[in-house]
Amino acid sequence: MENLLYIAAIVAAVAFLILCIALAVTLNSVKKTLNNVASTVDGLEGQLQGLTKESTELLHKTNLLAEDIQEKSQKLNTVVQAVQGVGESVGNLNSSVRRITSSVASEVERNEEKIAQVVQWSNVVMEIRDKWKERTGTGKDKDGWNRYSVPAQRRLPEPGRIDS
């Protein structure tokens, strides 16, 4: 029985040795895996630092762009207000022109008879003037020259003609 006890102790020692070897292999695999994870994390950390730096620069540029857009928007508001003022001025001018036009039209309608009389009198005056010219012999001939007849005065020769 003592032998059996020794055999059991040897079997237990071999089993413990196999367990220790298996545990060593497992721990070695875990060590390799953890080393790979550590190197991956180091790579990710470097990439994250680069990404953080680029994000910071992008945020800074975005802020500058936002400020520039705000300044230009304010300038554009000034231009829009100026254009609005011009539009209001043109509207006021249009309303003034409408008022004046309607006033002139109403005055013309009220004085229509007087205007017709003035036109008639001016036609009469023109006819009298034409008749007066015919009587006195003043006026232009066919060449566009003014002819004046004065009694007992000798006439000058026609332009372009020589009298002997």
Distance from C-alpha of 10 to C-alpha of 147, rounded to nearest angstrom: 163
Per-10-residue mean pLDDT, the chain, length 164: 88 95 95 94 88 93 94 88 88 92 87 86 90 71 61 66 59
Distance from C-alpha of 26 to C-alpha of 33, rounded to nearest angstrom: 11
Q: How many CB atoms lie within 10 A of CB 139?
A: 13
Residue 104 · residue 97 · CB < 8 Å: no
Distance from C-alpha of 59 to C-alpha of 65, rounded to nearest angstrom: 10
DSSP 161: -
Residue 146 · residue 138 · CB < 8 Å: yes
- Domains of the chain, by residue range, sit at 8-108
Residue 156 · residue 150 · CB < 8 Å: no
What amino acid is encoded at 85 in this protein? Answer: G
Q: What is the pLDDT of residue 78?
A: 86
Q: What is the pLDDT of residue 144?
A: 59
